Every structure is written in C-alpha cells, then in structure tokens.
C-alpha cells in the first residue's frame, strides 16, 4: 500500500483532535449529572484523559506544519451537532453515552490506524481509551439497571439513538472532508465502507450485551 498523502493524515488528525476536545467538554459537563462527588470526579477524570490526547494530536499537527485549528475547522459543525443532539438527561444516559461513544470511536480508530504508517499510526493507537473507563461506565449501567430493570429498555433505546446520530453525523463528516480522508479509507480494501459499518455495529451489539442492554 502506498503511504497516505499528508493531506489525508492532517484531515484524520484534525478530526480525531476535535473529537477529543469536544468529548472532553461534554464529559466534563455531563459530570454534573453524577449522583455523588466521587462519580462526578470519575467522569471528570475520563474527560481529562481526552484533553491529554487532544494535546498529543495538536502537537503532531504542529510538527506537520499545520495549525490545529485549521485542521479541525471542517469538522466543528458535524461533531458539535452530534453532541448537541445527544445531551444526556441523567447519569445513566451520561455513562451510556461515554460507554457507547468511546467504544465506537476506538473501533473506528483501530480500523483507520491500519491505513496509516509510522508515528501517525502509533499516535492513533495511543489515544485509544483505557479499558478501565469502559469498565467503570459498564458497571454504572449495570447498577442503574439493577436498581430499576425498566431502565434497561430506556438505555437500550438511548444507545440506538446515539449510534444513529453518530452515523448520521459521520455522513456529514465525510461530506465536510476535502476528499483525502475518504480516499484514505477507500484505498485499503479492508476498509470497504459496507464491511467497516458491519464490523462496527457487530462490536457495538456485543458491548451492549456486556452492559446488560439489548441492541
């Protein structure tokens, strides 16, 4: 496979950097829904991990001679729209959003890392979420369901809505992209969009079951 164009790498790093920055802000804001101070702090610490990742991505963009703001600009509208359309109403919805969103992001990044080389590939693999955050979120979801079994249905529906909104905004990301990023994905034959979509949703279904929700 030929090395991806710098343009595609810049687009991808910009997209991921903005994703981290907005995930930081939303997790920090959602932390106020926590039922107690230590859970509030736990979501805050998940948020802090995202801004640390943002810094690494922004620094890499600077090394490539690109202003991070310029690389992120095309994606502000769709990523902001995703978060605006999925504001959690309570703690259970907040941890479900963190659980679902982090995991799908990680799956996507793992897939896309295969199309990169060298330090950019390693950087993308490095910014994957630590499993302890997913463990925390899944445990909170199971607790909420155990306290009130009716919650399972509501959170399952919420998770489906999150995935639906994410896919809808992913379409807008592809449209906002200057072409290099989608070309990068298309170049790798493993990256057939249909197959990619199927793999991402299959992994999502498995995770829903692990947290006691149904797809």
Whether 196 and 158 have beta carbons less than 8 Å apart is answered as no
Residues binding its own copies (CB under 8 A)? 18, 21, 24-25, 28-29, 31-32, 36-38, 40-41, 44-45, 47-48, 51-52, 54-55, 58, 67-69, 72-73, 76
Q: Which is nearer to its own copies, 18 or 151 (CB)?
A: 18
What is the nearest approach in angstroms of its own copies to the Cβ of residue 27?
9
Q: Which is nearer to its own copies, 156 or 169 (CB)?
A: 169
Q: Which is nearer to its own copies, 54 or 158 (CB)?
A: 54
What is the nearest approach in angstroms of its own copies to the Cβ of residue 71?
10
What is the nearest approach in angstroms of its own copies to the Cβ of residue 69?
5
CA pair distance 123, 121, nearest whole angstrom: 5
Q: Structure tokens of 67?
A: 């202003």
What is the nearest approach in angstroms of its own copies to the Cβ of residue 105?
18
What is the nearest approach in angstroms of its own copies to the Cβ of residue 111?
26
Q: Structure tokens of 173?
A: 């990301």
Q: Which is nearer to its own copies, 62 or 202 (CB)?
A: 62
Beta-sheet strands, E only, within the chain: none
CA pair distance 186, 164, nearest whole angstrom: 22
Whether 43 and 27 have beta carbons less than 8 Å apart is answered as yes
Q: Which is nearer to its own copies, 16 or 31 (CB)?
A: 31
Burial 9-36 (b: 16+ CB within 10 A, else e): bbbbbbbbbbbbbbbbebbbebbebbee
């Amino acid at each position: 496979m030929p090395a991806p164009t710098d343009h595609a790498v810049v687009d991808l790093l910009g997209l991921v950097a903005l994703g981290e920055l907005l995930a930081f802000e939303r997790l920090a804001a959602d932390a106020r829904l926590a039922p107690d101070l230590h859970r509030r702090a736990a979501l805050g610490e998940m948020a802090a991990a995202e801004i640390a990742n943002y810094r690494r991505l922004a620094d890499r963009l600077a090394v490539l001679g690109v202003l991070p703001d310029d690389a992120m600009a095309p994606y502000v509208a769709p990523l902001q729209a995703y978060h605006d359309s999925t504001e959690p109403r309570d703690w259970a919805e907040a941890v479900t959003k963190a659980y679902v969103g982090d995991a799908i992001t990680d799956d996507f990044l793992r897939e896309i890392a295969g199309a990169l080389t060298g330090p950019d590939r390693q950087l993308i693999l490095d910014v994957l979420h630590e499993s302890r955050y997913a463990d925390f979120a899944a445990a909170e979801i199971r607790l909420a369901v155990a306290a009130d079994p009716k919650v399972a249905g509501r959170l399952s529906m919420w998770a489906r809505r999150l995935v639906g909104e994410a896919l809808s905004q992913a379409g807008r990301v592809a449209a906002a992209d200057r072409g290099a990023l989608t070309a990068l994905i298309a170049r790798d034959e493993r990256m057939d969009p249909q197959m990619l979509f199927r793999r991402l949703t299959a992994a999502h279904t498995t995770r829903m079951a692990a947290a006691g929700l149904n797809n």
